[in-house]
Amino acid sequence: MDLGWGKLALADVPSDLDKDAVRGSVMENCAIQLSYRIKDPETAEWLAASTGTILVDDESRKIEKNLALTETVSKERTVRQAERYYIDTNMLMNMPRGCGLLVGAGKLPSFCYTSPVKVERSEAAITPTIPVPALAVVEAPATAAPGSVPGLVAVEEEDF
């Protein structure tokens, strides 16, 4: 299993690279993407578009002025369906610390929280360990007498 970790904001893409080509290569080569709070609006728009769209109801109400010039909400209202991103740019640009958007893995995009384990750097933490070789186990035949097999000792019940 290969694991790649990278940071990408479209504003950081060098001018000699095509931003659309970079977008395409990231979307095609990264099956699972975890994105934290995004500061660049262009990157937020691109990621929001990658989450897909859903239908939402927009409701509008009519406000009328009466003879006393006060505004009152009339009983008339209009509901229409509109399309928006499943995760919109406002959500992406205002995620709390430790919150990320997980896209991919064959599921709908969802928010997840990560919390790294904080450790202190020490010599023991960066020193490679050498595995201890396993001891060989020698099985003696069931009919072997004590002393006939090296290392085989007779043990009586009262020894326990």
- Read off the amino acid at residue 133: P
pLDDT 10s digits, 5-57: 555 566 667 777 777 777 777 767 777 888 889 888 988 998 898 888 999 99
Distance between CA 57 and CA 42 in Å, rounded? 26
Per-residue pLDDT tens over the stretch 59-83: 998 888 888 888 888 888 889 999 9
**Structure token pair of residue 77:** 């209202």
Q: Is the pTM of this model over 0.95?
A: no
Rg (CA), the chain: 33
